[in-house]
Amino acid sequence: MPGKQMSIDADLNAGMINEHQAKERREKIEHEADFYGAMDGASKFVKGDAIAGIIIVLINITFGLIIGVAQLGLSFNEAIDIYMRLTVGGDGLVSQIPALLIATATGIVVTRVASEGNLSAEVTKQLFRYPTLLYIAGGTIFFLGLTPINFFLTTSIALVLVGSAYLLSRKTKLEESTTPEEVDESESEAMKSPENVVGLINMDPIEFEFGYGLIPLADSNQGGDLLDRVVMIRRQLAIELGLVIPVVRIRDNIQLNPNEYRLKIKGNEVARGELLLDHYLAMSPGIEDDELEGIDTIEPAFGLPAKWITEETKDDAEMSGYTVVDPPSVVSTHITELIKRFAHQLIGRQETQQLIDHLKESNPILAEEVTPEPLSVGDVQKVFAKLLREQVSIKNLPVIFETLADFAKMTTDTDLLTEYVRQSLSAQITNDIVQGRQQLKVITVSGEVEKLISEHIQQTEHGSYLAMDPDTQQKVIQSVSENVENISLQEETPVILCSPTIRMYFKQLLDRFYPQVIVLSYNEIEPTAEIQSIGMVKVA
């Protein structure tokens, strides 16, 4: 019971099941517990009844012999013949056969509690699966016929069982003698059916493939814990992003190099890397140590210079200030960062509807005010995707839908709605970026650049976009590059601050060159946050 309850809680936390499914499983466990308790009581009753029957038989035999010899004057052999027959036949079998039947029925029913099949079908399958058992049962019943039990009746039953066993044996031999060519032909015919062809086009949202040299990562028998790590990753991202990440399909691929792996999102490869299972990855603290022996490489998640080192040099690397991690941690971090980066591709209309249904459980009026009117599920999905594209969590559904309910009456432009939602989530965005630091160091955008961007915004019936000439774009990008490089040298996260009217267009301009740079508007920063400008984007 405790283990099953913990399993349900783990699946619920990992997002593999919802609250309704978890409730159904818990009710099923309760029914099983009640059933087992009832059958346990019945089994104890049968056990007690059987023991009592044996004691009664012994008492009847003992006192029957005493009465027959002492009172009726029978010889010892005559008393045994009469009272033994009467006791065993009249009392022993009459009381023990029902107990045997109840015990057998209890065992059959208890062993199939967890099964979802039909009871009669499963009992028939288990009894007639092995013909040898029927041969044994038939022989046993035949030998019982040599006792005072009716010989004709037992022989008839034995013949039926033996005949059934013979027919089952012939059927099994025919199935085993089926040639591989016939099996291949039947399989090829099955593959021609439309159902099997349709199954071939199914695509997994997330696929993790690896070469045969990395099989120990996922094989629990060899100490691999990748499957458990993936469950924890999905749980962690559900908490951070507010999105239930689809199940990650993990499999080996002989087309990859032995130590190579790759991650695919909706069938498209987004990254690949290489692991050395018998090494550790040592990431440089900023000062290279030429004396540290290892294989030069690049840390896959963040692109940092690193070295693959052996276990013997692990302690030396840690003493030198290197960050040393094992291969499972390397690949887990890589998977986590990639899913974060491509989370906007993982949320579709179906996932959006699930989030809306989840909101309806606690805020039904709020959800109904937004969808299906004035916004469709597709419109809400676009807002979610735009937020996730810039690493903004969508877990605060009430605030998001409150904002959509307020502004969807004025516009259905998902770009503008996203900007309004971002401003409503200013406290969340500020906390995620500041993360306990006393000051937030930012790069500001000059008034000249903001004016240029505002003048080059084109309005169309399908939305608005930035139409700036290539030379001006190049100058702006060059200024951003210089400022980002300077702030990176100070080991700070690049954050650009601009006015709300151009934030969206400025981010679109940078996405092709610096997709990881955070672009915020003044309305997305809490007044309590202390800001320090350490650079400015301007046109030279």
Tens digits of per-residue pLDDT, 359-411?
998 899 999 999 888 899 999 999 999 999 998 999 999 999 999 999 998 88
User: Which class in CATH covers the domain with range 206-343?
Assistant: alpha beta
Q: What is the pLDDT of residue 464?
A: 80
Q: What is the pLDDT of residue 401?
A: 94
Highest mean pLDDT among 80-94, 103-117, 235-249, 455-469: 235-249
Residue 82: exposed, middle, or buried by beta-carbon count in 10 A (0-12, 13-18, 19+)? middle
Residue 324 vs residues 209, 211, 327: alpha-carbon distances, Å: 25, 24, 10
Rounded CA separation 422/185 (Å): 60
Q: Name the CATH superfamily, with its identifier, for domain 437-537.
A: FHIPEP family, domain 4 (3.40.50.12790)
Is the Cβ–Cβ distance between 400 and 421 less than 8 Å? yes
pTM of the full structure: 0.64
**Closest C-alpha to 148, from 89, 106, 60:** 89
Q: Which residue has the higher pLDDT, 43 or 353?
A: 353
The answer to which of 6-10, 57-61, 78-82, 223-227 has the lowest mean pLDDT is 6-10
User: Which class in CATH covers the domain with range 347-424?
Assistant: mainly alpha
The answer to which of 32-46, 156-170, 262-276, 391-405 has the lowest mean pLDDT is 32-46
Highest mean pLDDT among 12-16, 142-146, 197-201: 142-146
Is the Cβ–Cβ distance between 519 and 392 less than 8 Å? no
Tens digits of per-residue pLDDT, 460-486?
777 788 888 888 889 999 999 988 888
Over 60: is that where the pLDDT of 163 sits? yes
Tens digits of per-residue pLDDT, 413-425?
898 999 999 999 9
Rounded CA separation 44/39 (Å): 9
Looking at beta carbons, which pairs linking 250-253 to residues 24 or more positions away fall under 8 Å? 250/208, 250/218, 250/226, 251/207, 251/208, 251/209, 252/209, 252/210, 252/211, 252/212, 252/214, 252/215, 252/218, 253/209, 253/210, 253/211
The answer to which of 70-74, 194-198, 239-243, 255-259 has the lowest mean pLDDT is 194-198
Measure CA 118 to chain center.
29
Domain layout of the chain by residue ranges = 2-127, 206-343, 347-424, 437-537
Tens digits of per-residue pLDDT, 269-316?
999 999 998 899 998 776 666 677 888 888 888 888 889 999 888 888
Rounded CA separation 280/283 (Å): 10
The answer to which of 72-76, 190-194, 404-408 has the lowest mean pLDDT is 190-194
Is the Cβ–Cβ distance between 59 and 81 less than 8 Å? no
